[in-house]
Structure 1
Amino acid sequence: TASEGWVYMTGTQALVRLPIQQRLRDEAAGLNTGGYISGYRGSPLGRYDIELWRAAAELKQHNIVFRPGLNTGGYISGYRGSPLGRYDIELWRAGRELKQHNIVFRPGLNEDLAATAIWGAQQVNNFPAATVDGVFGIWYGKGPGVDRSADALRHANFTGVSPKGGALALAGDDHGAKSSTAVNFSDTLFIAVGMPVIYPSNTQELLDFGLHGLAMSRFSGCWVGMKVVTDVAEGGGTVYVGPDLPEIVVPQRPSNPPHGVWARTIDAPVAQEERLYQHKLPAALAYARANNLNRIIDDSEGARIGVVAAGKAWQDLLQTLGNLGADDEGAALGLRLLKVGMVWPLDPVIVRDFARGLDLIVVIEEKRPLLEDQIRSILYGEAKAPRIVGKYFDGLPFDLSPGAAAIPNFGEITPELVAGVLVKAISRHDPNCGLSAPEAPGAALSNRPAPMRSPGFCAGCPHNRSTPVPEGSRALAGIGCHWMATLVNPNQTATASHMGGEGAMWLGQQPFTKQDHVFANIGDGTYAHSGSLAIRQAIAADVPITYKILFNGFVSMTGGQPIEGGMTPVQILSELVAEGVTKLALVADDPERYAGVPLPPGVSLRHRDTMDATQREFREYKGVSVILYDQPCATERRRLRKRGKWADPAKRTFINAQVCEGCGDCGRVSNCMAIEPLETEFGRKRRINQSSCNKDFSCTDGFCPSFVTVHGGSLRKPEATAPLTQYLPPVPEPILPAIGERFSVLVAGIGGSGVVTISQTLAVAAYLDGLFSSNLDLTGLSQKYGAVTAHVRIAREPDALHATRIAAGEADALIGCDLIVAAGDEALSKLKRGKTSAVISADLTPTADFARNPNWSVDEDLLIERLKNALGDKALILDAQRLAAALMGDPIASNMFMLGAAWQRGLVPIQREAIERAIELNGVAIDANKQAFEWGRRAGHDPMSVETLVGYDEPAAEPPSLDALIERRVMHLTDYRDAAYATRYRALVERVRAAEKSAGMGEALTTAVARAYHKLLAAKDEWEVARLFASPDFQKALAHEFEGDYKLHFHIGAWPFARL
């Protein structure tokens, strides 16, 4: 909200500030405009709508409307999708501010309808009832949304815009397909519909180019496309803002057709095309030239080599030049640099000026040779034209011969790749240049691969119950969280379609296969977006298919936004009955909530426990059938419970570890990530992580009597630890590390555990400390228990910050909040022995594989070895989750605990007061987070003092010796039956031990016999289960986790008879 000066903001927040800044500029110019924002969320613009909603009031005050693609006004519209997946969230958060500025934000039902609404907003002044001078519109959508909206965008761009309105289209491109089913490259589609394309390279340009884009749109009459990639949208940085920034120059118009270049009520298609290509696009070029969107950055005297880049590639290039020792942007290497801001159409004037006198031009760009081809075309036929290296070298694409240079047209590019290409190209041109690419850090990795932390369904996720299909059936996947069913059971669920095409693949397969039926998963958000048409298509084709509509009430993939249209399950089913579906079922986790609710004819109401039987019944039906599975999103339900907006049952699940046999059936039936391994002296058991449990209770359906549900009471809170600090010696202030040119901190952890919070805290704290920062949160699907890394870069000057992503070997500090992620190849590639210091959490949180593999294990020694090979002795390893849980009552505090430890160890170059203030500004659990930070400081200073204070009360997983192992089992069998029974056990074990000793074989066989024979003798019949539930050990375990007045519900009665 600052009007002028340096401020920190994320990329998505910059896009929220954009319409407000535009409205303020219009007011200063005496214009009465409105704003209209619409689109559809999706990473990397997944939170844009949420931030717009937050700013709704301020937007309205400035006559800016954000609507999900449904109406007119000052308009922001579109549809969510990575990397714009949270744009709508940020817009919601900015709700008050948007409202104040008369800005309307309406998220789109889908992308093309949102674009059509903004198309209409540009024509409001062609009719007499308009209340504003013009409406500027902002459309947003993920790459696939751009693809599906080509028709609407073409029509809208050919029609044009209002002279006091303008239209900006934000395309969220996920170049690495980290959270997409296909890679995105929206440039070529924008070009196909005749839209100028601008490409910001950082957060500052996201704001500046956005304002330029709207001004260019007004001047030229074109819609303007702005490409937004993950590293920009999902990053953040320190930005300079001002009421008159950026300076906008309105140039001389190169040509002016009759009646101008703007939108008309009645127009002919060929006349529109002529106006676009003969007048509007030349005007856009004139605007770009007058406002220096394309700039020759450095023109070294006598330069013979030029380098061209745009957007993210430009930041990668600057990072590369710094790594090569040319921090003055190429002058030390004798280079001339061209930074392209408008990538299409490329200005021929600046290209010719740039190329004059050069022998070689190297083009650094992602994906297709967009700039390269334009440069070749512009310079073709020029006298003494330079050679060009990019995707092609010596006339061949991807020439891999020695010394060749080529930028791949797939995947993402990195500074390391750019360095290799640049050095090869320059060295081939000038063999005496003396350049060599920096060697990648040799982090000595083990020959054995490290385990991967793949994403999985959240604890208690409804998709754990709704996506499995009966044996012998298969399902087609769709877009949404439920797509991860292809990871959980790829033999059952596969072949995901584009959004809205769910199930349509079967129409092409069905005539040519012996299989007579499939299931198709479709989310409620997708159904509203476009998926209902796929069902209508199946009805028209009359094919045997069962659509499972997975109704959870939120768009959970991108942040939990409400679904546009807000249809209820009954309304959806009524619509489908009207469409002609005759076999339908409503399956719910709580059918009682439909008591008294009239259901459409032919719809049966069933409990989720009947899901398998229901699917078996429906797969025999010879037409289109529908099962609507209704269960709220577990994560959103948890968030609402914390805010007191959702009923929180006084009920929790608990496992009696003595009864548990570690078979894993509870995980098999529930696929729940809250079930974790518990290593005991009697082998691996199971426990419930109460911090992550979302109270779905599916685990109690397992074939096991060890489960109880605890009714009433509450989780035991740890004894207050804050007063203890007054009896402990004070923690000294550390010596903060020197920043140098820049300081890079890598945070590695698990999605959903607060890694992004740590990243944001550091970035904001750096700003509060008078420093400059950038940060990038690489999440993808990792918010679902997968790996997430946050890249935070800090500098004293803004010009020292280039690429937001930390390059190989460039991390100064690693905060490893999860051992598996920290020891993975991606994190290790950023470390450099002798340079990087680290604080690592040694707690082993199981991966999603554990729910499906009861014998899942990780070699902790291997992970530690990998880290030590990369870090040497510059690492502190802590049991952060265990310590945080003991001190704070919740392991979720471990990440802030880790930040405190890292700061105390001198791994963070920011003053403590700034970090504490950033925690306050975040506004969530302020006191708890400050306390966790302080305990982390103490652990960083004196780990043993904190360990001693906490103690270690978990049972030992392994007895210290074979004798101890035998004696413990003798005691157990004595309690189990009697001393004679125990003597029988001891006698056999001792005979084996004697035989093994005489054979000189060690103790491995005896150990195995001691374990297995005990397990055989201590069979857990109903009497033994009852004895173990009555034992003091069980009561002690309960009291360790719960307090207050509670009662137990035993699930023994349902076992095993419920399975018979």
Structure 2
Amino acid sequence: MPAVNHAYQLADRYQQSEGRVFLTGIQALVRLPTMQRQLDRRNGLDTAGLISGYRGSPLGGYDQELWRSKKHLAEHDIDFEPGVNEDLGATILWGAQLVDYYREDVAKDGVFTYWYGKAHGLDRSADVLRQGNIQGTAKHGGLLALVGDDHNAESSMFSHQTDQILESAIMPVIFPSSVEEFLSMGLLGMEMSRFSGLWCGMKTITETVESAASIEIGALPNFVKPDIPIPPHGFNYDAHLNWPAERLEFERRMIEERVPAAHAFAYANKLDRVVFRAPKKRFGIVTTGKAHGDLMQALKLVGLTEDKLAEIGISIFKVGMSWPLEPRGIREFADGMESLFVVEEKRPQLEKQIKEQLFNWPASKRPEIIGKRDRRGEVLLPEIWVFSPEIVSQALARWLNGTSVERQISDAVAAMSAPSHNRSDKLVARAPYFCSGCPHNTSTKVPEGSKGGAGIGCHIMVLGQGRKTETFTHMGGEGMHWVGLHRYSKLDHMFQNLGDGTYQHSGSLAIRQAVVSGANITYKILFNDAVAMVGGQPVEGTPSPGVIAQQMFAEGVKRVALVSDNIDNYRGDKTLPAKTERHDRDELDQVQRSMRDTKGVTVIIYEQTCAAEKRRRRKKGLMEDPARRMFINDRVCEGCGDCSVQSNCISIEPKETKFGRKRQINQSSCNKDFSCVKGFCPSFVSVLGGQIRKPDVSHVANLEDAYFAALPAPASTSVDGEYSILVAGIGGMGVLTIGGILSMAAHLEDKGSTTLDFTGLSQKNGAVTAHIKIAPTPADIDVPRISDGMTDLLLGCDMIAAAPSINKIGRGRTKTIMNTEKVPVAAFTRNNEMYFPAKETLSEFVVASREEDVSLVHATEYARKLFGDAIATNMFLVGYAFQKGLIPLSQEAILRAIELNGVAVEFNQRAFQWGRIGADDLEKIEALIGIKPTDPASEDKEQSLDALVEGFAQELIAYQNEAYADKYRDTVATFQAVEIGEQGRSGRLTRLVAKNLYKLMAYKDEYEVARLYSDPAFEEKLKAQFEGDFKLKYHLAPPILSRMNKATGRPDKIAFGGWMKHGFRLLAKFKGLRGTRFDPFGYTHERREERAMIKEYEDLIALAAAHLSDETSVTISALLNLPDEVRGYGPVKDANIAKMRARKEALLAELTTPIQKAA
């Protein structure tokens, strides 16, 4: 068993000066400035560091990590001053490079500076970068721009490539290929910036900055200063250079002096280097950045070992500075080569420069240069999206066509390209979506007849939700589309969403432009009190609604309205201008309609705290947690989905019952927004006080120690080369934690390890994956991403999230452990009838591998019963896989890694051990918790027709009386006889009649709702979910008491106290009045309609019986199932009835057509 380093602490990632540490890409960028400060101290310089910029994926979490490390950074004289936006952050750093101008006023020798921002931010900062760069850096200063490049649009509106922007600003582009190189190249980049006087850029991309690795920290480097002539004025900022008189001299120095200085520094310090030199020169491969790792992995995939490379004569040159390409190194490498193959992602940078460098060589000496296109001019490497080792392998095969390894590589590539099976068309995606209780569920609605524009932020997910919000701009350009379009549009007005973070960043200027233009537009400033899209950071300057309102009136907007879910907090707010209108969020539609009719620019400040941030604050005790939860009485629920329409909330989930699909509230994910109660339905109940009931697991805890001690050691798994684990699940449920824990455990055993997280918007209920690699040493891992077919273990924490990773399965290689829990996808909020393809999804994994290699585990169900919390699911699966011998780490290392993680340590360690028990003896767990979950992949066993009919008949007896039930039985039996006579058996059609006739006959009037609330089963369901001293409030809209809401056109619901249960019991006793002239409710439109539909359906059954044949069975089936479309109460039901009757007419016309033809 390998030794575990128990002395290692998380602080070592920043404080350990030499040896192995485990770092994420973001943490490496936090450590980098402290190493620069240490290097300066060693060299006798008294410098300080300054960091500024603006957040954005893949650098979205950089500011948070800097804040967490504030104390450590301060110890090294490093300050963090976040910019309000990217270009202002860059200008702040420009100021720090002026220390030589203000030398007598500055105490430090210099200030080294780091700018950070994603590619979009680099675009908008280009002017600052050009102007600052042309002036140069301080002698002991320097600027390194950390650029978050998103080559594949993993977390951006579109894919990026920042090389060209940096080149246009004459900023050298340093491109690390790993977390370790962030440190080595980052130090070198800063020293280059100082020496040459140029601002430098360093590219960070998703696959490096969002990965983590066990890396080696060596002694601080000794950089070589090139022996080149230095002009009298030096290369750095020259306070004596006059502007504007000598403005052309600025450009001359930058191009003719500083760029060559950067070349010289790069050459002297081996920034570009030969990583493999073959004894004979024939072929050369030139790479940079991530593509280098892809190449090295590709060579392994096609079996080109170092011996093979040497035999063929292939050498490899790794370029660290992709622009401007240092000429001496590439010429030395190219000299004597027959062919150069340039491997780089996106549009060609290196290839163009190499061709330029070698163009004038004699034809006899000049090698051919292959890159994006092959010898015939056909595409060899794509200029779009991202590379993979497989793509590089295919390109290698074509480049080396005609060599001794042609067949070997071609066979390897053919094996990679083996056709996969046809995927089921029933599979669904787990797309990101608004959080439960998200303010944007309400704030992004627009009134009927209006349209809106989307903006940057979480609220951009409104696109594609059918909310008439369809276009977007860059950050800060919100509303400008309409300013350009309004004069040509038939629309007179537009709504525009604008996040509070974007408002502070640059969006306020767009409002100013809109005012100047005179366009009719209403900005909805979505004030959510956090920048939720990239981690919940505070908005710079933390502007309040009052301050924003003051600014808006000062800009000249016509009206400002504050809409809030807690408007009472603002009634006496003196920061709000007196003319600011104040409204509750329930009045949003009215406010929007009023603003729409106002000429000019108007503003709605929609204030509601981000739901995720609200949840975090409640956990920390920083925000009140209302002692209220919503509960749905599923027997009263009609399954109409109006609660989802009103709330757009993912915590409203389907609940399958014998009465059809109903609704339930996921209490674990509910963030207590309570907008679901607006659904026009009497099934909603407020539970006041009490707590969510947790299962009594004391008997489990009493047995744990003995169970854990009795566990046998797992089957051993050795690591020979890379061992790849892919974890897939739902954002926010601990998937990334698994990656961190397993990688850290490998690090503690002195193994090589990496993890790569693919998140994007996954924290918003989308899919997330973690690629984990474990190897004997760090050098054994070339890239953190797992190649297709190369997964050893696939942990499916969620089957839907795991489905897109099926191509990572290698038949005969991959072992799959899949959680069988059916977690609804967000699309259910918009599609009431959405089918959950559990069987089809799980079968995909079996088909892709082998049945014996797929283990289906009811992990979530076990977690709930063992721990009372589904959050234990993922660690349970880790323990299960470990006990099966599928994780090549020791228990000691995993438990220590959980301890270092520092979150719910005991809980997670126990979940891990229970997962081990599940793998060793699942029956022990099932006996202990008293359940044996059903297999979701198995077909649901349908109840027999006789049992179905009799069950519904018994319900109708309770509903009305025996005679009423007999009428139901007789009608079904009559049709059943016809179906048997016509088709030789009864089944599908009679089953439709049985279900739908029951549904219509058991219409939920006041007596039935009262009976269902009086049923002891309702109280039992409540007590099963809640405990403690709680009270109830029933949300009803009785026709006599409810007032019609003019804005919604619906009766308002009224909250009735717990005393209402006595009223329900009394009212239920009067069910005998139903349908008689003494029924006071029977005269309402809704009740008359319900009785009429029963008669209509009976006539329809008779018509179907008369025309049943093989030719008409499909149409008759649709006709007989029409009542299933009639769901809901009041106006919801009326709308559904109208739709149903329109469809009925079309189906009846269709039914008579074949009859007429037959005649």
Band of TM-score, shorter chain: over 0.9
Aligned to 1:971, which of 954, 957, 960? 954
Query: Post-superposition shift, 1:596?
Result: 1.3
Aligned to 1:420, which of 387, 394, 398? 394
Question: 1:17-40 CA deviation, whole Å, 9 max, x = no partner?
Answer: 001111112122222111101110
For 1:10, the equivalent position in structure 2 comes to: 24
**Residue identity in the other structure for 1:866:** E
CA contact (8 A) 2:325 2:353 kept: yes
**Residue identity in the other structure for 1:115:** A
> Residues of 2 paired with 1:49 and 1:447: CA distance?
43
The alignment-based identity, stated in percent, is 46
1:891 aligns to 2:870 (yes or no):
yes
Query: Post-superposition shift, 1:1035?
Result: 1.1
Query: Post-superposition shift, 1:894?
Result: 1.2
For 2:548, the equivalent position in structure 1 comes to: 572
CA contact (8 A) 2:119 2:150 kept: yes
CA contact (8 A) 1:833 1:871 kept: yes
For 1:776, the equivalent position in structure 2 comes to: 756
Q: Which runs of 5+ in 2 are unaligned?
A: 1-14, 1052-1159
For 2:595, the equivalent position in structure 1 comes to: 618
Aligned to 2:650, which of 641, 655, 673? 673
> Residues of 2 paired with 1:460 and 1:344: CA distance?
48
**Residue identity in the other structure for 2:96:** A
**Residue identity in the other structure for 2:83:** G
1:367 aligns to 2:346 (yes or no):
yes
Question: 1:542-592 CA deviation, whole Å, 9 max, x = no partner?
Answer: 110110100001110000000101110110010000111121110001101
Q: Counterpart of 1:169 in 2: which secondary structure?
A: strand
Q: TM-score, normalised by structure 2?
A: 0.85
CA contact (8 A) 2:100 2:139 kept: no
For 1:985, the equivalent position in structure 2 comes to: 968
Question: 1:102-125 CA deviation, whole Å, 9 max, x = no partner?
Answer: xxxxx1100000000111011124
Q: What are the equivalent positions in structure 2 for 1:78-227 lying under 5 Å apart?
A: 107-127=82-102, 128-227=104-203
Give the paired residue count: 1010
**Residue identity in the other structure for 1:126:** Y
Q: Counterpart of 1:829 in 2: which secondary structure?
A: helix
CA contact (8 A) 2:154 2:760 kept: yes
> Residues of 2 paired with 1:951 and 1:422: CA distance?
58
Aligned to 1:481, which of 455, 458, 476? 458
1:935 aligns to 2:911 (yes or no):
no
Q: 1:724–1:272: structure 2 CA closer, same or farther, 3 Å change rule? A: same
Question: 1:918-975 CA deviation, whole Å, 9 max, x = no partner?
Answer: 1111111112111221222222223333233334499998654223322322222222
380-389 or 308-317: bigger deviation: 380-389
For 1:90, the equivalent position in structure 2 comes to: none
1:1021 aligns to 2:1005 (yes or no):
yes
> Residues of 2 paired with 1:333 and 1:498: CA distance?
50
Q: What are the equivalent positions in structure 2 for 1:393-792 lying under 5 Å apart?
A: 393-394=374-375, 396=377, 399=378, 405-427=379-401, 434-436=408-410, 437=413, 438-440=415-417, 442-448=419-425, 450-489=427-466, 492-598=468-574, 599-720=576-697, 721-725=700-704, 728=707, 730-792=710-772
Q: Counterpart of 2:74 in 1: which secondary structure?
A: helix
Q: Higher helix fraction: Structure 1 or Structure 2? A: 2
Query: Post-superposition shift, 1:892?
Result: 2.1
CA contact (8 A) 1:819 1:841 kept: yes
Aligned to 2:985, which of 1001, 1006, 1011? 1001
For 1:906, the equivalent position in structure 2 comes to: 885
CA contact (8 A) 1:751 1:783 kept: yes
**Residue identity in the other structure for 1:311:** G
CA contact (8 A) 2:100 2:239 kept: no
1:1032 aligns to 2:1010 (yes or no):
no
Query: Post-superposition shift, 1:812?
Result: 0.5
Q: Counterpart of 1:363 in 2: which secondary structure?
A: strand
Q: 1:441–1:640: structure 2 CA closer, same or farther, 3 Å change rule? A: farther
220-229 or 964-973: bigger deviation: 964-973
Question: 1:857-904 CA deviation, whole Å, 9 max, x = no partner?
Answer: 122221111110112121111122222122212212211122121212
For 1:102, the equivalent position in structure 2 comes to: none
Structure with greater Cα Rg: 2
Query: Post-superposition shift, 1:413?
Result: 1.1
1:795 aligns to 2:775 (yes or no):
yes
Aligned to 2:905, which of 908, 914, 926? 926
Q: What are the equivalent positions in structure 2 for 1:252-291 lying under 5 Å apart?
A: 252-264=227-239, 266-267=241-242, 268-291=246-269
Query: Post-superposition shift, 1:448?
Result: 2.2
477-486 or 856-865: bigger deviation: 856-865
For 1:245, the equivalent position in structure 2 comes to: 220
387-396 or 778-787: bigger deviation: 387-396
For 1:31, the equivalent position in structure 2 comes to: 45
CA contact (8 A) 1:751 1:782 kept: yes
CA contact (8 A) 1:634 1:694 kept: yes
CA contact (8 A) 2:39 2:220 kept: no
> Residues of 1 paired with 2:693 and 2:424: CA distance?
44
Question: 1:449-489 CA deviation, whole Å, 9 max, x = no partner?
Answer: 52111111111100000001112211111111011110322
Q: 1:448–1:768: structure 2 CA closer, same or farther, 3 Å change rule? A: same
Question: 1:367-387 CA deviation, whole Å, 9 max, x = no partner?
Answer: 111000000000102122111
> Residues of 2 paired with 1:20 and 1:1015: CA distance?
71
For 1:881, the equivalent position in structure 2 comes to: 860
> Residues of 1 paired with 2:268 and 2:1038: CA distance?
77
688-697 or 939-948: bigger deviation: 939-948
Q: 1:263–1:332: structure 2 CA closer, same or farther, 3 Å change rule? A: farther
Query: Post-superposition shift, 1:431?
Result: 8.4
CA contact (8 A) 2:53 2:117 kept: yes
Q: TM-score, normalised by structure 1?
A: 0.93
Query: Post-superposition shift, 1:1050?
Result: 0.8
Q: Counterpart of 2:689 in 1: which secondary structure?
A: strand
Q: 1:885–1:447: structure 2 CA closer, same or farther, 3 Å change rule? A: closer
> Residues of 2 paired with 1:936 and 1:471: CA distance?
52
Q: Which runs of 5+ in 1 are unaligned?
A: 68-106, 400-404
Q: 1:1037–1:594: structure 2 CA closer, same or farther, 3 Å change rule? A: same
For 1:356, the equivalent position in structure 2 comes to: 335
Find runs of 4+ consecutive structure 1 residues off by over 6 angstroms: 953-958
1:58 aligns to 2:41 (yes or no):
no
Q: Counterpart of 1:823 in 2: which secondary structure?
A: helix
CA contact (8 A) 2:195 2:235 kept: no
CA contact (8 A) 1:710 1:1047 kept: yes
Aligned to 1:382, which of 358, 361, 379? 361
For 1:949, the equivalent position in structure 2 comes to: 928
> Residues of 2 paired with 1:295 and 1:978: CA distance?
90
Q: 1:41–1:230: structure 2 CA closer, same or farther, 3 Å change rule? A: same
CA contact (8 A) 1:959 1:965 kept: no
CA contact (8 A) 1:11 1:203 kept: yes
Q: 1:658–1:474: structure 2 CA closer, same or farther, 3 Å change rule? A: same
For 1:104, the equivalent position in structure 2 comes to: none
CA contact (8 A) 1:795 1:801 kept: yes
Q: 1:742–1:271: structure 2 CA closer, same or farther, 3 Å change rule? A: same
Q: Counterpart of 2:783 in 1: which secondary structure?
A: coil
> Residues of 1 paired with 2:712 and 2:991: CA distance?
49
1:860 aligns to 2:843 (yes or no):
no
Q: 1:220–1:636: structure 2 CA closer, same or farther, 3 Å change rule? A: same
Question: 1:122-155 CA deviation, whole Å, 9 max, x = no partner?
Answer: 1124322212111110000000100000010111
Query: Post-superposition shift, 1:1023?
Result: 1.7
**Residue identity in the other structure for 2:960:** R
> Residues of 2 paired with 1:1054 and 1:893: CA distance?
44
> Residues of 2 paired with 1:613 and 1:932: CA distance?
51
Query: Post-superposition shift, 1:1010?
Result: 1.5
**Residue identity in the other structure for 1:475:** G
Q: 1:904–1:803: structure 2 CA closer, same or farther, 3 Å change rule? A: same
Query: Post-superposition shift, 1:356?
Result: 1.6
Query: Post-superposition shift, 1:493?
Result: 0.8
> Residues of 2 paired with 1:866 and 1:977: CA distance?
48
Q: Counterpart of 2:63 in 1: which secondary structure?
A: helix
